[in-house]
Amino acid sequence: MSIQWFPGHMTAARRKAAETMATVDVVIEVVDARLPEASTNPMVHELRLHRQRPCLKILNKADLADPGATKSWIAWYARQPDVKAAAIDARNTGEAARIPSLCQRLAPHRNDATKPLRMMIMGIPNVGKSTLMNTLVHRKIAKVGDEPAVTKSQQLHCLGVQHRLIDTPGLMWPKIEHDSDGFMLAASHAIGRNAVIDEEVAVFLAGLLLARYPSRLSARYGFSAEGLDGASVVEGVARRRGLLGRGGAPDFGKASLTLLQDYRDGKLGRISLETPESRRAMLAARARETAE
């Protein structure tokens, strides 16, 4: 299954973002620390390169991600021109407070009240942009929800006399190029449920967990992961949680939602769905397939 999700209002949001970017100094792109590149919007990259704007990558939900993988991602982004990266939990006031000064380093010429630093916050749906906005301004000004695409319009906010921050709606791109990216996004709830089949996403997630974090499955659900495949893991979740249908058959749908929610809530531990190494391997494999 190829996962695609591009609601109609995002076309207008992209157009408005392109217009606004001409007036800002730094782009803050919020991504999910558990899947930083899969949750990076290529349209944001194209827009900021066209306007030659530097980027601060905020790896949000770092409290849910594998610390070792996050450290590798910070180093990955540090090697890119005009890019800095920071890993935070957007709910943490102290961590969020670092953002303006990090942006200032990317645009040192905008440093006083007559030339306030103009920042634009962007990202795909449900990566925590609204939570970050609320933390930065110390009040609830952005609606926060568990479903993707809650914010629908741009908003301008002043962070003191030296900083201006524009919040933008969550923005997807028209075609997700790599199937694995679509599944990672769906597993992390960045894509609306009407565009995915939960059972298929859960089987993908289970397969990835088997490959990288099998002990987390055993610790959470109380069964050995040895010799299992993704579908068997979901069935095991159903049996251990008593999610059974007629005749005692595993309820695959309910078990799929249980596994997905446990991952999203961090109940399986700190997990990263991709690393720089796995990203390079995926892209290399894709290149070989294209060349054949």
Across the range 51-79, mean pLDDT stands at 97
Amino acid (one-letter) located at 87: A
Q: Which residue has the higher pLDDT, 2 or 80?
A: 80
* 43 and 153 assigned to the same domain: yes
Provide the 3-class DSSP secondary structure of residue 147. coil
In a domain, 191, yes or no: no
Average predicted confidence (pLDDT) for the chain? 90
Q: Are 243 and 251 in contact (CB under 8 A)?
A: yes
In a domain, 137, yes or no: yes
Q: Are 31 and 40 in contact (CB under 8 A)?
A: yes
Across the range 128-135, mean pLDDT stands at 90
> Is pLDDT at 15 greater than 80 in this prediction?
yes
In a domain, 175, yes or no: no
Q: Are 172 and 41 in contact (CB under 8 A)?
A: yes
Of 4-8, 31-35, 87-91, 142-146, the one with minimum mean pLDDT is 142-146
**How many domains would you assign to the chain?**
2
CATH number at residue 94: 3.40.50.300
> Is pLDDT at 69 greater than 60 in this prediction?
yes
In a domain, 173, yes or no: no
Q: Are 9 and 152 in contact (CB under 8 A)?
A: yes
In a domain, 192, yes or no: no
Where among 118, 148, 167 does a domain terminate? Answer: 167
In a domain, 110, yes or no: yes
- The parent domain of residue 201 ranges over 197-291
> Is pLDDT at 150 greater than 70 in this prediction?
no
* 162 and 203 assigned to the same domain: no
CATH number at residue 251: 1.10.1580.10
Tens of pLDDT, residue by residue over 163-209, are 889 988 888 888 899 999 999 999 999 987 777 899 999 999 999 99
Residue-level pLDDT at 149:
44
> Is pLDDT at 248 greater than 80 in this prediction?
yes
Q: CA nearest 249: which of 237, 239, 259?
A: 239
* 106 and 224 assigned to the same domain: no
* 54 and 99 assigned to the same domain: yes
In a domain, 182, yes or no: no
* 146 and 20 assigned to the same domain: yes
Residue-level pLDDT at 152:
52
Where among 118, 146, 167 does a domain terminate? Answer: 167
* 142 and 50 assigned to the same domain: yes
* 138 and 41 assigned to the same domain: yes
Across the range 87-108, mean pLDDT stands at 94
Tens of pLDDT, residue by residue over 158-173, are 887 788 899 888 888 8
Where among 167, 187, 207 does a domain terminate? Answer: 167
* 206 and 126 assigned to the same domain: no
Provide the 3-class DSSP secondary structure of residue 183. helix
* 17 and 162 assigned to the same domain: yes
Residue-level pLDDT at 235:
97
For 176-213, give one letter per residue: b (16+ CB within 10 A) or e: beeebbbbbbbbbbbbbeebbebbebbbbbbbbbbebb
In a domain, 178, yes or no: no
* 136 and 13 assigned to the same domain: yes
Provide the 3-class DSSP secondary structure of residue 200. helix
